[in-house]
Structure 1
Amino acid sequence: MDKDKTKVIMGLIIESLREGLGMSRYALAKESGVDYAWLRRFEKGTSGIRVETLILLARGLKIPAGTIISAMEKALDNPDKWLDEYERNRK
């Protein structure tokens, strides 16, 4: 599996969950206790994530961490298809 593609997908999942809640990146960073600049890089797919940080983001989004993990597992089953669908839905 392409490590860079994995990072991009994980970041997009967090971004879409955050936007779906109408939450700004700044608000999520503050609520989660993570660095805003790191969150921006993560959502853009240029930074990785540790499990502890994933849990902090889930708490900031007020959802179970398992929800994020499930979305990632599903997306990574067929990353190219997921990315294509994501792009289509953004238009």
Structure 2
Amino acid sequence: MNFDFIGLKSLNQVIAFISTGAMDKDKTKIIMGLIVESLREGLGMSRYALAKESGVDYAWLRRFEKGTSGIRVETLILLARGLKIPAGTIVTAIEKALDNPDKWLDEYEKNKKATS
């Protein structure tokens, strides 16, 4: 996949841009984790099932979804495969959320409360 339209050449560059310095790193990690958590929950999949299906450590996945652990491109691809969705779906969701992270987080919280 080519990301020339945003001045980046590869998925690796997109992930590096998102997670290192272009934005608030902590907020970025939180958003990335929440997006994966939302996708997983939307598919009715438990965290344990995703960890097993993806071949990632359950404790790491929990930390990632809570925004306290980062992610490598290879691991993002494993998660996407575990969710049975294209990795680009996750990346696109992250990019859209990071256009206005504060607004996205506010909307996420409102939606979470409304469905609880």
Q: How far off is 1:59 after superposition?
A: 0.1
Identify the residue that residue 98 of structure 2 maps to in structure 1.
76
CA RMSD of aligned residues (A): 0.3
CA distance in 2, matches of 1:84, 1:27: 28
Q: Does 1:45 align with 2:45?
A: no
CA distance in 1, matches of 2:83, 2:26: 24
Q: TM-score, normalised by structure 2?
A: 0.78
Percent identical among aligned pairs is 92
Q: How far off is 1:2 after superposition?
A: 0.6
Q: TM-score, normalised by structure 1?
A: 0.99
Q: How far off is 1:16 after superposition?
A: 0.2
Aligned length: 91
Q: Does 1:31 align with 2:67?
A: no
CA distance in 2, matches of 1:90, 1:44: 14
Q: Please identify the structure whose Cα radius of gyration is greater.
A: 2
CA distance in 2, matches of 1:79, 1:15: 17
Unaligned runs of 5+ in 2: 1-22
- Flag the structure with more relative contact order, 1 or 2, with Cα contacts below 8 A and sequence separation at least 6: 1
Unaligned runs of 5+ in 1: none
Question: SS of 1:63's equivalent?
Answer: coil
Structure 1 runs (4+) greater than 6 angstroms displaced: none
Identify the residue that residue 89 of structure 2 maps to in structure 1.
67
